[in-house]
């Protein structure tokens, strides 16, 4: 595992009604996460976080099994495709987080996919902690990987 340079918690709300199986929910724009290099992602369920920063209920651990995530680079290529949220939750992976070879993230083209509506409820939120670095951090990142 690489040291975390920067992280930002984002929330993806399922909406007033649970989207059907196969639905994609695109991630909204977060100005802080523009022009970043994605290094890793962590997902959280109600097991570790009862409420989102916006005061909404967080999906259950069983709900994590029903959702996958896709992350797109600045060239609109799907670098991480349909990755199960449950495997991104450190609670279920012995405290480890998934780190990736860094790539320039295009967050607004990235999305989650509802694979099954089982164990999902309206107005629940998916929490993802985006691990990243900025161009100005690149020298520090290279030093830490030696």
For residue 122, what are the β-bridge partners?
A: none
Contact in structure between 52 and 128 (CB atoms under 8 Å): no
pLDDT digits (tens, 9 = 90+) for 51-61: 999 999 999 99
Contact in structure between 19 and 112 (CB atoms under 8 Å): no
Q: Does residue 114 surpass a pLDDT of 70?
A: yes
pLDDT digits (tens, 9 = 90+) for 45-100: 999 998 999 999 999 999 999 999 999 999 999 999 999 999 999 999 988 998 89
User: What is d(CA 114, CA 18) in angstroms, rounded to the nearest whole number?
Assistant: 9
CA 79 to chain centre: 13
User: What is d(CA 27, CA 25) in angstroms, rounded to the nearest whole number?
Assistant: 7
Contact in structure between 33 and 132 (CB atoms under 8 Å): yes
Tell me the C-alpha to C-alpha distance, in Å, between residue 71 and each of 32, 83, 122.
17, 9, 24
Q: Identify the structural domains of the chain with CATH numbers, from first to last.
A: 6-136 (2.60.120)
* pLDDT in the model for residue 28: 96
* pLDDT in the model for residue 142: 62
* pLDDT in the model for residue 71: 98
pLDDT digits (tens, 9 = 90+) for 16-33: 999 999 999 999 999 999
146 pLDDT band, cuts 50/70/90, is: very low
């Amino acid at each position: 595992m690489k040291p975390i340079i920067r992280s930002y918690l984002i929330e993806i709300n399922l909406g007033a009604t649970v989207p059907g199986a196969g639905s994609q929910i695109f991630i909204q724009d977060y100005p802080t996460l523009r022009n970043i290099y994605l290094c890793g992602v962590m997902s959280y369920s109600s097991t570790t976080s009862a409420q989102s920063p916006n005061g909404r209920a967080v999906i259950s651990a069983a709900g994590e099994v029903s959702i996958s995530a896709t992350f797109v680079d600045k060239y609109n290529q799907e670098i991480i495709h349909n990755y199960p949220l449950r495997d991104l939750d450190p609670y279920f992976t012995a405290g480890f987080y998934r780190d990736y070879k860094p790539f320039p993230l295009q967050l607004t083209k990235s999305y989650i996919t509802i694979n099954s509506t089982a164990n999902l409820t309206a107005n629940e939120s998916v929490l993802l902690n985006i691990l990243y670095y900025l161009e100005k951090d690149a020298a520090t990142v290279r030093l830490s990987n030696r």
